[in-house]
Structure formats: C-alpha cells, structure tokens
Amino acid sequence: MLMQKPLLSKHRGFINLAYEVAKWKFDYTVTFNGTKRLPHAADNPAQYQWDESSPSYVLMNAQVTKTFGEKFLWSFILVPKTLPIISRAKLL
C-alpha cells in the first residue's frame, strides 16, 4: 500500500469572493486544508514525538482596497491580522 506524501493534504478546498464598486474592492478567501501525514518520529525521544497526522484547519483572509486619484492611482489596503474560525486552544 502506498503512503500519503508527507506534509501534503489529500483534501483541500478554496473559495474566493471578490466584489468591486466605484473605487472600492472587497476580497474574501476561505481555504480548507485536510489532515497531513507527518514524518515518522517514533524513534525520537518521547518529548520530540508527535502524532502521525496533523489536524485539518480552515484559513480565512479578507482585504478591502480603496483607490484614490484620477491621473496617478494610489491604493489604500486594509487587511485584518486574522479572522478566527476555530479557537487556538483546540489546536494546542
């Protein structure tokens, strides 16, 4: 039986929504990454061992862009640091 390649998700998903009105642009992206096989660590000391696979997770990104000027275009981009969908305590 073939093993899954390490650190590559077998199941992945990507959705992007973009909208533009006047000089405003809105962009929202959701990415799903399924579980990944982690490299074999059973031979390591106990404190350096980990599970055989990583947890799956969802990543969300959003961006708002405002364009200024007629002759020379200037853009102001607002990007939030993080859009939480799951608690960090669950990952740890």
Could you read off the pLDDT of 28-78 as tens digits, one per residue? 999 999 999 888 777 878 888 888 888 898 888 888 888 887 777 778 777
73 within a domain of the structure (yes/no): yes
5 within a domain of the structure (yes/no): no
Domain count, the chain: 1
Which residue(s) pair with 27 in the sheet?
A: 18, 63
d(CA 16, CA 31): 9
Residue type, 59: L
Full domain range(s) for residue 78: 12-91
Q: Whole-model pTM?
A: 0.68
